[in-house]
Each structure stands twice: as structure tokens, then as C-alpha cells.
């Protein structure tokens, strides 16, 4: 279960490529049948992705996000949790 | 025996013992080259059986895929697989009629590969389907070259690539150009690579009557059938993602995947990329030619001229930088500036830039000694534009027309867009060309 105290780090099973303000995420797989999607993150998604370093927890990332985007902390937290749920297959989480 | 093939400008030398006869399918005939020269790759062919050593680990598995009316369906039968170990990559192919299991061994970083074709006797077929495509894949993957499901044509001296999912009309569109006397580079599978700073497409042997053909690439279209001919320019990650989705790839090796996506990003930023919906008749060719011959600068120059003349202009928005205030396809009414009314923060303006203009919102103004300066930013952008002098503002946006509604310019929303994840659905390597013996165009 992901919570605000979870510490995310990037999975080695995904290739990240930044293109201007956005990025592509390409999952690595060992079976052709699973090779059916690649993903595009928008600018804010890239901002969060690049804050993930295996040290910051989601609470820290939310605070950085709220600072950068002049958005209410509670609102940012809701959106960030949703984001992490969407991209969880590309991340590992540990609890501090 | 030695046989040289030149595919996409690469000399592939197939070598066997003198008493072993190398036999190639007809589709390679036009690619055989007897002129000699330094090979880029040597494949030593032995008609014996070899197996993947037990210490190698399977890294990729591909089952047989059968095309059904509902789309590709897995049969569950083994087709080919890749294993890795001892600094070697092993590619095993499962063939029927007769049953045999050719094994390709690629020593890491070496351009001398070994192929055991699993045939009894002194005859060896080194390039059975799908091994030929796999050899080309591993060869192009070394340098991040792009193998793509696509057709390519040369029309009026311009190289156009059409790519899209299975059934999107790649062969159909190539056929339209073929009937009009344009040269078709290939109608199914291309290799794209950069030569001297320019992207070039090459044909690959797929059909019986294929031959080596090449052309520079000027425009790449992601195609689908439509009710009319419409093209929309694409850029950045969207363009690269849609190209990537149509590339032939094996995403088990992170380094190869990273090289491929880097090349695709370069391609997407070097050539024009558009989405194209098309009608399967000559109108498509006429539409694309007319579109290509109209320089975009003309419309921009006309709009700037009219604004300078004090006239209001209407332009169509093409990007997402002002999302959600202005969406692509919205028509924007731009009015000339009133010299008595100074520009203030919050106004959306057209600022001259790079020979055209961008429509962004003023975030800050500053008075200099001689002139006033403004700072602008797209509502959806994190990064502000550089400061520009007020004189560079061509006009002010007064209204936005979306569909049949006229919208007033709203105050900027919170500069926060929910981080979004867009899924670009693809069915990639599964769409292997097979079953068509002869290309429908030539």
C-alpha cells in the first residue's frame, strides 16, 4: 500500500527518455505478449519523476511540488497519490 | 561458400565451409552483391544443430501469433526466443515444414556471428523467416537504427514515410503513389538511419520482387483511415511515442531500448511528423502535395501584416502551451494593440518569435528607459518565455472560438496540471509480415 511516507525509487525495468518538457516511459519485459504499451508523462509528471531518488518520501515530493507550483498541499497530495498509483509498476517503494 | 547481401547499405557476408551450399529465398536475389568489399557483419553458417547452453538465461520469449479477423491471437506455440549468458546472445527459432531449430549466436560486441541452421546434409538456408528479420533487428539495434512497420514513397523529390498499426493503410497508401508513377521505396518494412546528418529510409527484403531502394526522409505520417484527408502536425514526446509504437523492437535489453528511443527522438525532431487520416483514393496524394507546397510561413506573415495594418485576424491554435484556456483547433481572434492602453499581466497576446508568433499570457511587465518589457508564459508551461520588448507584441487575443461557442479569455488557472500519464497503445513486434508472397506495388 502506497502512503505519504513511502519512499519511491525507479525500477531498473523501465527506460525513461526526456523529450523537451515531457518524457516517454518504456517498460522492459521478457515476453512479446506484454509488449503492448508505452507511456508518455507530461511536464508535471516529469517533474515528479525526476524528484524520485530513493531517498525522498512522497510527503517530501508533495512539499516540493506544492512549492514549485503554488498549489495547495492537500490538493497536490491527492493528485500525487493518484500519479503514484498510475506509475507504480515502474517504481519500487519502501517504508522508512 | 561466400554470399554477400547488401541491405540498408550494410554488407552482410554469409560464409560456410566449401562443401556447404548456401541457399537463399528469392526475396534476397536483388540484394546479393558480388562486387566484394569490407563486410560490416560476417555470419558463419553451419548446417548443424546447436543448442542454447544450460547456463544461459532466457530473456525474451515470442510465441506464434496468428492473424485472425479479430486481430492477432496467440497460438501458444514457440516461435523464437532469446537467451543470454557467457557474453553471448542466443536466438533460437522454431520452424515447421520441416521442423528445425536454427540457432544464431551473437558474441557481445563482435561482428562475427555464428549460425547453426539445423539441417542435415550440405545445403543451408541461412535466412529463413523469421530469422532474417531477427538478424536485421540485432544488426540495426547495435547502433540504434530504426526498423519500422511502414511504407515509404518518393513524391516530387520528397521522401515520405507512412507508419501505423496493422490495417492502418500502409500498403494502400503506397499503392496510390505507385499508380501515380511515384517511386515506392517499400510498402511494408523500412530501415531508417542517419547518414551525414540526414535521415534516410531503406527497403528491406520481404517480398519476392523486392530490391534495394533508398531515399531521404522529409516527412513521416502516422496514418489511419478516415472520412476525409486531414493531417495534424505532431511534435515532442507525442510524435516520438507514436513512431516508437510502430518500430520493431524487443524490450528486454534496456540499453538497446534506450538507443532506439534516443534515435526516435532525434528522428521526431529532425523530420516533420504528422498524424494523417486519409481516404483510399487519389485525393490523398493531391492533399499531401498541396499541403507540402504551402509554406506555413505564408499564413503567419499574412496574419502579422494584417495586424500591422490595424486589422483583426483569426488563427487556428496548434499546440497545448495555453491549455486549457486555448486548446488545439480553437480559433483565436487577435486584435491589434491599442497604443493608449498599456499591456498588463494576465492578458493573452501574440508575441513575434522565430519568424512567426506564439500566443502566451503576460505574467509580468517592466518599464525600461526607452521601452516597456513583458514576460510571457504558456498557461500549461512551467518555463517562462524570455523577456521581450512590448514592440514585439503583434496583437492581443480578444476571443476564442471553440466549435460554435465563443469564449472570453479567463484568468489564468492555477499553474498546476495534474500529472498525466498517456498510454500509447501498441502491438509491436507481433505484427510480423508474413503470408504475402509478392508486394502489391512495384
Is the separation of the CB atoms in B185 and B215 below 8 Å? yes
B 207-266 residues inside an 8 A Cβ radius of A: 236-238, 240-241, 244-245, 249-254, 257-258, 261-262, 265
pLDDT band at B341 (very low <50, low <70, confident <90, very high): confident
Cell 558480388, located at residue: B34
Closest C-alpha to A4, from A74, A86, A89: A74
Task: Say if residue B416's pLDDT is above 50.
Answer: no
For β-strands B331-335 and B348-353, DSSP reports them as: unpaired
Residues of chain B in contact with residue A66, where contact means CB-CB under 8 angstroms, are none
Q: Alpha-carbon distance A46 to B132, whole Å?
A: 39
Tell me what pLDDT residue B329 has.
78
Residues of chain B in contact with residue A21, where contact means CB-CB under 8 angstroms, are 236, 381-383
Task: Say if residue B410's pLDDT is above 70.
Answer: no
Among the partner-chain residues B63, B265, B268, the one whose CB lies closest to the CB of A33 is B63
Higher-pLDDT residue of A80 and B169 is: B169
- Work out the average pLDDT over B103-118: 97
Tell me what pLDDT residue B439 has.
46
Among the partner-chain residues A12, A15, A31, the one whose CB lies closest to the CB of B261 is A15
Tell me what pLDDT residue B355 has.
61
Tell me what pLDDT residue B30 has.
97
Between chains, do B424 and A45 touch, taking CB under 8 Å as contact? no
Cell of B338: 491599442
Q: Over the stretch B236-294, which tens digit does the pLDDT of each residue have?
A: 888 999 999 999 999 999 999 999 999 999 999 999 999 898 999 998 998 898 777 65
Domains of chain A: 11-88 (1.10.10)
Distance from CA of B223 to the nearest CA of A (A): 18
Domains of chain B: 2-142 (no CATH), 146-293 (3.40.50), 297-408 (2.10.109.10)
Cell 499591456, located at residue: B343
Tell me what pLDDT residue B434 has.
34
Distance from CA of A36 to the nearest CA of B (A): 5
Q: Which residue of A has its CA nearest to B415?
A: A69
Closest C-alpha to B253, from B77, B83, B95: B83
Cell of B294: 504551402
Task: Say if residue B159's pLDDT is above 80.
Answer: yes
Crossing angle between the packed helical segments B170-179 and B282-293, to the nearest 10 degrees: 80
Q: Residue B294: is the preceding peptide bond cis (ω within 30°)?
A: no
Average pLDDT for chain B:
86
pTM of the entire predicted model:
0.76
Task: Say if residue B301's pLDDT is above 80.
Answer: no
- Work out the average pLDDT over B68-94: 84
- Work out the average pLDDT over B33-44: 96
Is any Cβ of chain A less than 8 angstroms from the Cβ of B44? Answer: no
Between chains, do A38 and B382 touch, taking CB under 8 Å as contact? no
Residues of chain B in contact with residue A71, where contact means CB-CB under 8 angstroms, are 414, 416
Is the separation of the CB atoms in B91 and B138 below 8 Å? yes
Print the SS3 string covering chain B.
CEEEEEECCEEEEEECCCCCEECCCHHHHHHECCCCCCCCEEEEEECCCCCCCCCCEEEEEEEEEEEECCEEEEEEEEEEEEEEECCEEEEEECECCCCECCEEEEECCCCEEEEECCCCCCEECCCCCCHHHHHHHHHHHHCCCEEEEEEEEEECCEEEEEECCCCCCHHHHHHHHHHCCCEEEECCEEEEEEECCEEEEEECCCCCCCCCCEEECCEEEEEEECCCCEEEEECHHHHHHHHHCCECCCCCCHHHHHHHHHHHHHHHHHCEEEEEEECCCHHHHHHHHHHHHCCHHHHHHHHHHHHHCCCCEEEECCCCCCCCCCCCCCEEEEECCCCCCCCCCCCEEEEEECCEEEEEEEEEEEECCCCEEEEEECCCCCCCCCCEEHHHEEEEEEEEEECCEEEECCCCCCCCCCCCEEEEECCCCCCCCCCCCCCCCC
A 65-84 residues inside an 8 A Cβ radius of B: 68-71, 75-76, 79-80, 82-83
ipTM of the complex: 0.93
For a pLDDT cut of 70, what percent of chain B falls above it?
87
For a pLDDT cut of 90, what percent of chain B falls above it?
54
Q: Alpha-carbon distance B348 to B199, whole Å?
A: 38
Name the least confident of B33-37, B173-177, B206-210, B265-269: B206-210
Higher-pLDDT residue of B298 and B321 is: B321
Tell me what pLDDT residue B77 has.
85
Task: Say if residue B368's pLDDT is above 90.
Answer: no
Q: Alpha-carbon distance B107 to B275, whole Å?
A: 40
Between chains, do A69 and B383 touch, taking CB under 8 Å as contact? no
- Work out the average pLDDT over A38-61: 89
Q: What angle do CA B219, B220, B225 make, to 5 degrees?
A: 125
Amino acid at each position: 500500500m502506497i502512503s505519504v511516507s513511502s519512499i519511491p525509487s525507479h525500477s531498473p525495468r523501465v527506460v525513461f527518455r526526456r523529450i523537451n518538457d515531457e518524457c516517454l516511459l518504456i517498460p522492459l519485459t521478457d515476453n512479446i505478449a506484454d509488449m503492448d504499451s508505452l507511456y508518455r508523462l507530461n511536464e508535471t509528471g516529469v517533474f515528479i519523476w525526476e524528484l524520485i531518488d530513493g531517498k525522498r518520501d512522497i510527503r517530501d515530493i508533495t512539499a516540493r511540488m506544492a512549492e514549485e507550483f503554488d498549489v495547495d498541499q492537500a490538493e497536490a497530495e491527492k493528485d500525487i497519490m493518484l500519479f503514484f498509483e498510475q506509475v507504480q509498476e515502474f517504481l519500487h517503494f519502501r517504508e522508512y | 561458400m561466400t554470399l554477400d547481401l547488401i541491405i540498408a547499405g550494410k554488407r552482410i557476408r554469409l560464409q560456410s565451409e566449401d562443401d556447404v551450399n548456401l541457399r537463399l529465398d528469392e526475396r534476397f536475389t536483388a540484394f546479393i552483391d558480388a562486387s566484394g568489399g569490407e563486410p560490416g557483419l560476417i555470419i558463419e553458417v553451419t548446417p548443424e544443430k546447436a543448442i542454447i547452453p544450460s547456463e544461459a538465461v532466457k530473456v525474451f520469449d515470442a510465441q506464434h501469433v496468428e492473424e485472425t479477423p479479430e486481430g492477432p491471437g496467440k497460438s501458444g506455440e514457440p516461435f523464437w526466443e532469446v537467451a543470454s549468458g557467457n557474453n553471448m546472445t542466443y536466438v533460437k527459432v522454431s520452424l515447421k515444414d520441416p521442423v528445425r531449430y536454427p540457432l544464431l549466436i551473437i558474441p557481445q560486441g563482435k561482428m562475427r556471428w555464428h549460425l547453426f541452421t539445423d539441417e542435415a546434409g550440405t545445403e543451408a538456408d541461412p535466412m529463413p523467416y523469421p530469422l532474417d528479420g531477427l538478424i536485421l533487428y540485432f544488426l540495426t539495434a547495435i547502433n540504434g537504427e530504426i526498423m519500422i512497420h511502414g511504407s515509404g514513397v518518393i513524391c516530387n523529390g520528397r521522401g515520405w514515410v507512412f507508419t501505423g498499426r496493422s490495417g492502418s493503410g500502409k500498403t494502400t497508401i503506397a499503392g496510390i503513389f505507385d499508380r501515380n508513377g511515384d517511386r515506392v521505396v517499400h510498402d511494408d518494412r523500412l530501415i531508417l538511419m542517419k547518414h551525414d546528418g540526414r535521415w534516410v529510409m531503406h527497403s528491406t527484403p520481404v517480398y519476392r520482387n523486392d530490391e534495394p531502394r533508398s531515399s531521404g526522409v522529409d516527412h513521416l505520417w502516422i496514418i489511419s483511415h478516415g472520412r476525409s484527408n486531414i493531417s495534424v502536425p505532431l511534435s515532442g514526446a507525442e510524435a516520438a511515442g507514436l513512431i516508437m509504437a510502430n518500430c520493431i523492437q524487443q524490450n528486454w535489453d534496456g540499453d538497446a531500448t534506450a538507443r532506439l528511443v534516443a534515435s526516435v527522438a532525434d528522428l521526431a525532431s529532425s523530420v516533420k511528423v504528422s498524424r494523417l487520416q486519409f481516404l483510399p483514393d487519389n485525393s490523398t496524394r493531391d492533399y499531401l502535395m498541396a499541403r507540402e507546397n504551402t509554406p506555413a510561413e505564408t499564413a503567419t506573415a499574412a496574419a502579422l501584416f494584417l495586424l500591422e495594418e490595424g486589422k483583426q485576424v483569426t488563427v487556428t491554435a496548434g499546440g497545448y502551451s495555453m491549455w486549457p484556456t486555448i486548446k488545439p483547433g480553437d480559433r483565436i481572434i487577435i486584435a491589434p494593440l491599442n497604443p493608449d492602453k498599456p499591456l498588463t499581466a494576465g492578458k493573452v497576446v501574440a508575441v513575434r518569435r522565430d519568424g512567426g508568433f506564439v500566443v502566451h499570457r503576460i505574467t509580468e511587465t517592466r518599464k525600461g528607459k526607452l521601452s516597456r518589457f513583458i514576460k510571457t508564459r504558456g498557461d500549461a508551461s512551467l518555463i517562462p518565455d524570455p523577456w521581450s520588448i512590448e514592440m514585439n507584441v503583434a496583437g492581443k487575443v480578444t476571443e476564442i472560438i471553440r466549435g460554435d461557442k465563443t469564449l472570453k479569455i479567463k484568468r489564468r488557472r492555477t499553474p498546476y496540471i495534474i500529472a498525466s500519464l498517456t498510454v500509447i497503445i501498441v502491438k509491436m513486434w507481433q505484427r510480423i509480415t508474413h503470408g504475402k508472397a509478392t508486394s502489391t506495388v512495384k
